[in-house]
Amino acid sequence: MRILGIETTCDETAAAVVGVSFDGRGEILSSEVLSQIAEHAAYGGVVPEIAARAHVEVLDRLVARALRAAGCTMKDIDGIAVAAGPGLIGGVLVGLTTAKAIALVTRKPLMAVNHLEAHALTARLTDGIGFPYLLLLASGGHTQLVAVKGVGDYTRIGTTIDDAIGEAFDKVAKMLGLAYPGGPHVEREAAKGNPERFALPRPMLGRAEPNFSLSGLKTAVRIEAEKIAPLTQTDIADLCAGFQAAIVDVVVDRTRVALRQFRQIAEAPKALVVAGGVAANQAMRQALQRLAVETGLKLVAPPLALCGDNAAMIAWAGLERMRLGLIDDIDAPARARWPLDTSGQAVGVKA
């Protein structure tokens, strides 16, 4: 089985082909990603209209490139998987409309994939782990702790009540004059800094419910920066180090609480999984690895190339759904909002 995947929910245009190897494990046959960072850098964030137009300009060529890299043609493809949300609705519509056109012309099945589900299932593509497991999904737009019990079977245990982790990284970076996207730049500066120089808060630490709140931490960084302005390079490095250390402490504490609550929802988790763009942060990976050892679990973190938005994870989620007979109609809507847990309500726009 070979699935073509398409991803256009934010500022990466991506296409990939994923199949199943002889031993039954997932196999990435090709993965093409074109970033739009250069187009958005001057604005300090993603401009939805610019993103949508950029997807239109390159998606057809990127799909063709992914097929060539996989050594196949559309005749060899068994289904089309596309991220139908959540995301910037203009970009989502570009990918979904393209996927529908391909599916109609080739008469292949269409799988309209939840972008968050694709992140949730990446660990099964890379490591072949079984259900259930606890997922920490951390990106620029989402921060959730989720019990992953099966394909399409998710229970959200905790979430952020304000900023997502990646969003907080980006805002602190902008505050300190660092380039966009902020996460890698904050991590790089933090490696040079003293995490103990500034007494920054650890919001929600010790709370019984595994939720996050990061706006207060972000404000604390701003207050400390204003106290010592103008900032030197040492000041910036120390602020980044303190901020990152606070984030890591909060993440470990919130994840530990979620692990305790997991057993009330499902059987004991088989693994602790971290996914999303923030999963690339090495300090966070190391801290979660220590937590996994402490709790007797395996930590599964995707390769760095699969942390950010990519089409390989979309293709894999489509493959998992297709194997279960979960095929979508051609009128599947584009969704600006699409909660991962099954109790959530989705907001859709027909493509």
Q: Is 119 part of any known ligand binding site?
A: yes
CA angle 45/98/152 to nearest 5° reads 80
141 belongs to an annotated ligand binding site: yes
- Does 170 belong to an annotated binding site? yes
309 annotated as a binding-site residue: yes
Strand 133-138 to 143-150 pairing:
antiparallel
For 188, residues 6+ apart whose C-beta sits below 8 A from its C-beta are none
| SS3 state at 314 | helix
- Residue pair 312/306 in contact by the 8 Å Cβ criterion: yes
Does the annotation flag 211 for ligand binding?
no
Is 91 known as a binding-site position?
A: no
Annotated binding residue at 66?
no
Task: Give the closest residue to 147 by CA, choosing from 346, 342, 345, 347.
Answer: 342
Is 177 annotated in a binding site? The answer is: no
What does DSSP assign to residue 268? P
216 carries a ligand binding annotation: no
CA proximity to 277, closest of 117, 165, 162, 160: 165
Is 115 known to sit in a ligand binding site?
A: yes
Looking from the CA of 14 toward its CB, the CA atoms found within 13 Å total: 28
The binding site for substrate consists of 137-141, 170, 183, 187, 281
Q: Which residues are annotated as a binding site?
A: 115, 119, 137-141, 170, 183, 187, 281, 309
Binding residue positions for Fe cation: 115, 119, 309
